[in-house]
Structure 1
């Protein structure tokens, strides 16, 4: 497990569900929540990898943790997924809609309807449905926090990420709308993430990226654990008067 700064925020007694939780930013957030004392549901399409990570969280940090396989873009599977999570964990106090995808394409006219629909399903439709299901239960119970992982692409859409950018712009809109839907007991916020050096970045032209990053205020891409502070803030009572907000964490990208 990765090193990270010492944490002082506590989430003891809370259950956090993180989609796309077995890798990248999702893994770091799940780890950060577990270090803060939360019990964890790690969810992604790869149930074996989720189960393996959940076992590591149990063994190393002593929290309850389960790994569950789910494709968030498949609407008709999400009711059963939520039922399973509540059946095994009892509640969900923090939902992180992190699962996402942004397939490459050669040119905008080469984008197929299938690709476009798949990108919107994972990045927008799934978070909407999960938030609707979990947020309704949160509002009927003791409240909670929903955190949507958006992207600066939503406000700076580059030509090679247009379906993804459109989906994330929609996710920003949903964040504000769901905050009004589920308030006052449920807070809904988004982290608008910049460029982080996750496993996906291994396929990048790093020389070209380094040149681009010179224009960032911090002059570099983010390390995955650097998302955790924002996530902990939004998950905890420290953000008790924060809802419908889009928190940018991008190292000062222009």
Structure 2
């Protein structure tokens, strides 16, 4: 599962699952691009990567829901490294709301923008360049909500269902040289989990076979699999990393 001298872009890369993947990719030999809305968090992690793994790390402030910021991110990455070998569309957002009729247009647009619009734009731009350069891997981080929507996250569920469809379409568009796959996540103990009410946490832990929430580093094996030649015959695939959700 070597990524020696590869360049990996991770959105939502400064914390949570993104942070774990950034460290794992750098440990496997990759140079990394850490993109998130807040530059300071990206810069802090970039310093950690350089000190811990001896790899190059580029921090970039980017709100992926903004088309122009996606474009600017791509230009910054290619100006710095001249290539992208792996793109991980990890940035996600699922705000809580009191009821569906109280979901504002701004909230709905924000959820769709971060979870679907951004991955579409980045994949379109980087996927085309990957194909022209002879190959690459795009990894979309989805959710069990895409296929089993719950009342507390319906806009998010719709966005992630769209992301799953995007995976299938991109795999056909940029094949045979670019592979595009989905990691469909169950509940993980990330910053988002801090907002869970107690009854939701209890329900989540009771509804999977492992009877617990995932630790952030438990995303790493799946991410390395799809990022490397270990998954050379996988594209358009969805891998559930959800503790055996039911």
**Is the pair's TM-score, using the shorter chain for normalization, greater than 0.5?**
yes
| Alignment correspondent of 2:61 | 69
Structure 1 pair 69–212 and aligned structure 2 pair: CA distance change class (3 A): closer
2:50 alignment partner, one of 55, 58, 64: 58
State yes or no: 1:161 paired with 2:153: yes
Alpha carbons 2:3, 2:28 under 8 Å: kept: yes
Q: 1:96 is paired with a residue of what secondary structure?
A: strand
| CA deviation map 1:80-139 (0-9, x unaligned) | 220111101221100000001011110000011111111101100100000000000000
| Alignment correspondent of 2:6 | 14
Where does the alignment leave 5 or more consecutive residues of structure 1 unmatched?
1-8
| Alignment correspondent of 1:3 | none
Alpha carbons 1:55, 1:66 under 8 Å: kept: no
The 4+ residue runs of structure 1 with deviation greater than 4 A are: none
- The separation in 2 between residues aligned to 1:251 and 1:74, in whole angstroms, is 33
Alpha carbons 1:29, 1:228 under 8 Å: kept: yes
| CA deviation map 1:141-189 (0-9, x unaligned) | 0310000000000001001100000000000000000000000000000
| Alignment correspondent of 1:39 | 31
Map residues 192-231 of structure 1 onto 2, 5 A cutoff: 192-206=184-198, 209-231=201-223
CA RMSD of aligned residues (A): 1.1
Alpha carbons 2:88, 2:139 under 8 Å: kept: yes
Q: TM-score, normalised by structure 2?
A: 0.97
Q: 1:95 is paired with a residue of what secondary structure?
A: strand
Where does the alignment leave 5 or more consecutive residues of structure 2 unmatched?
none
Structure 1 pair 212–50 and aligned structure 2 pair: CA distance change class (3 A): closer
State yes or no: 1:173 paired with 2:165: yes
2:141 alignment partner, one of 144, 149, 160: 149
| Alignment correspondent of 2:19 | 27
